[in-house]
Amino acid sequence: MSFQALVRPNILKLVPYRCARDDFSEGVLLDANENTSGPAIHDLKNSEVILELNRYPDPHQQKLKSLIAKFRGHGLTHENLYLGVGSDEAIDSIIRVFCKPGIDKLATCVPTYGMYRVSADINDVKVVSIPLDLETFELQPQVTIKALNADPSIKLLYLCSPGNPTGKRLNPEYVELVINNWNGIVVVDEAYIDFTDGAPSMAPLVNQYDRLIVLQTLSKSFGLAGVRLGLAYACKELASIMNALKAPYNISVLTADTGIRALSDESIAIMRTYISEIQRERKRLLEALSNIKGIGRNRGGCDANFVLVEILDAATNKPSNDRAHEVYNTLATERKVVVRFRGNELGCEGCLRMSIGTKRENDILIRELTDILG
Ligand SMILES: Cc1ncc(COP(=O)(O)O)c(C=O)c1O
């Protein structure tokens, strides 16, 4: 089945908003009701003057998209891209493209990132949860395919690879197996893909499978969470539909400018240095944690910029949510070190998720955990 058959009919027929600058973009611009006196900011920096903040941003962002596509390579172009206010906007847009509120459903493979459910709830779309293998946090292709085919109202499957909170990259062959044995849209959220040990992104496969969408973000490896720039790769036709649906000016002038700077060769080199440091620290942190009495297994994989470790009950030596919650609270309130309690997620009994910090931050975390648990 082609993806078009799954798009909501009103979205398929959508005529995108035509922006003032789509027709003419040069000369005395009195077409968009902007304030041509300029930005009313008393301490405008020179770098901001050039950006003409009083003007609406480019709705198409072709330059930024071309740089992002070039960064991933493998035949991807700006036409494969949708840009959003973080990948959280892409998560929501995809639901609106495919799911009729109150009728269609989406599926997730749990444990997984919480925003899929929040976006589904906002859109009045029910969620079907299919478990990952709870020992390895790997996708169970046959279980997943069976569950998806059992309910024709499921239109979308959200997979997270590497997973949050699992930190585990899913086997791409299993993902392809699902695409080939189910007639819905498979979304692979690759927010953490750059933290693996060089595993390739599935993004280039969107030109092979028109029912595959790959999400990425500049929030993680590029260190730009505050900028809010996320993206979806899809086949050209689907990317074009997603672009028609978005608010025309969702990417601000400041966001686009930062994104373009982040994708220069010099910035990418810095990003790669940070990734190497994070990978080194991830290894060191895990080793140190494994020597602390009261900390159990690293439950997750080693493919993201965080780890997911068990906190053990002192008496039973088993993972304990009560103890994990206690440790989480003590860390945050008495030691001013904030991690995330994930013990209520399926298969994550007693687990805390800890982002990999700088060497200094990780040393503090190790010291405080040793002190609390020792
Ligand atoms: C798996 C996953 N996807 C998406 C996001 C959100 O990314 P963004 O900052 O681009 O909205 C996060 C943030 O933590 C995440 O863990």
Task: Report how far ligand 1's centroid is from the alpha carbon of 4 (Å).
Answer: 27
User: Which pLDDT does position 17 carry in this prediction?
Assistant: 87
Q: From CA 279, how far away is CA 356, in angstroms rounded?
A: 9
Task: Report how far ligand 1's centroid is from the alpha carbon of 162 (Å).
Answer: 11
Closest atom of ligand 1 relative to the 88 alpha carbon: 11
Contacts within 8 Å (CB) and 24+ apart, 120-127: 120/95, 122/92, 123/92, 123/95, 123/96, 123/99, 125/95, 125/99, 125/101, 126/153
Q: From CA 338, how far away is CA 306, in angstroms rounded?
A: 13
Residue holding tokens 């899929």? 116
Closest-CA residue, ligand 1 atom 11, reads 86
Q: Residue count of the chain, please give it.
A: 374
Closest-CA residue, ligand 1 atom 13, reads 191
Task: Report how far ligand 1's centroid is from the alpha carbon of 199 (Å).
Answer: 19
Residues with CB under 6 Å of ligand 1 are 86-88, 113, 160, 164, 189, 191, 217, 219, 225, 230
Closest-CA residue, ligand 1 atom 2, reads 191
Task: Report how far ligand 1's centroid is from the alpha carbon of 202 (Å).
Answer: 17
Q: Is 280 helix (H, G, I), strand (E, B) or coil?
A: helix
Contacts within 8 Å (CB) and 24+ apart, 70-78: 70/263, 71/263, 71/268, 72/201, 72/203, 72/204, 72/216, 72/233, 73/204, 74/203, 74/204, 75/204, 75/207, 76/203, 76/204, 76/206, 76/207, 76/233, 77/236
User: Which pLDDT does position 327 carry in this prediction?
Assistant: 98
Closest-CA residue, ligand 1 atom 8, reads 86
Q: From CA 202, how far away is CA 258, in angstroms rounded?
A: 25
User: Which pLDDT does position 123 carry in this prediction?
Assistant: 98
- Counting ligand 1 atoms within 8 A of each CB, the residue from 83, 91, 110, 220 with the most, and so the one to mutate, is 220
Task: Report how far ligand 1's centroid is from the alpha carbon of 65 (Å).
Answer: 19
Task: Report how far ligand 1's centroid is from the alpha carbon of 292 (Å).
Answer: 30
Residue 327 · residue 320 · CB < 8 Å: no
User: Which pLDDT does position 21 carry in this prediction?
Assistant: 82
Closest atom of ligand 1 relative to the 113 alpha carbon: 1
* 1: Cβ contacts below 8 Å, ≥ 6 apart: 183, 211
Q: In the predicted model, what is the mean pLDDT of the chain?
A: 97
Closest atom of ligand 1 relative to the 192 alpha carbon: 1
Task: Report the half-sphere exposure of 255 (CA within 13 A, side-chain side).
Answer: 24
* 221: Cβ contacts below 8 Å, ≥ 6 apart: 192, 193, 194, 195, 271, 274, 275, 305
Residue 49 DSSP code: H
Q: From CA 276, how far away is CA 274, in angstroms rounded?
A: 5
Task: Tell me the β-bridge partners of 214.
Answer: 188, 233
Task: Report how far ligand 1's centroid is from the alpha carbon of 364 (Å).
Answer: 26
Residue 68 · residue 262 · CB < 8 Å: no
Q: From CA 70, how far away is CA 265, in angstroms rounded?
A: 11
Closest atom of ligand 1 relative to the 160 alpha carbon: 1
Tens of pLDDT, residue by residue, the chain (374 residues): 899 999 999 999 998 888 888 888 899 999 999 999 999 999 999 999 999 999 999 999 999 999 999 999 889 999 999 999 999 999 999 999 999 999 999 999 999 999 999 999 999 999 999 999 999 999 999 999 999 999 999 999 999 999 999 999 999 999 999 999 999 999 999 999 999 999 999 999 999 999 999 999 999 999 999 999 999 999 999 999 999 999 999 999 999 999 999 999 999 999 999 999 999 999 999 999 999 999 999 999 999 999 999 999 999 999 999 999 999 999 999 999 999 999 999 999 999 999 999 999 999 999 999 999 98
Task: Tell me the β-bridge partners of 129.
Answer: 108
Q: From CA 84, how far away is CA 55, in angstroms rounded?
A: 19
Residue 229 · residue 86 · CB < 8 Å: yes
Tell me whether residue 316 is exposed, middle or buried, using C-beta atoms within 10 angstroms of its C-beta: 0 to 12, 13 to 18, 19 or more.
exposed
Closest-CA residue, ligand 1 atom 3, reads 191
User: Which pLDDT does position 126 carry in this prediction?
Assistant: 98
How many helices (DSSP H) and strands (DSSP E) are in the chain? 12, 11
User: Which pLDDT does position 361 carry in this prediction?
Assistant: 98
Residue 304 · residue 167 · CB < 8 Å: yes
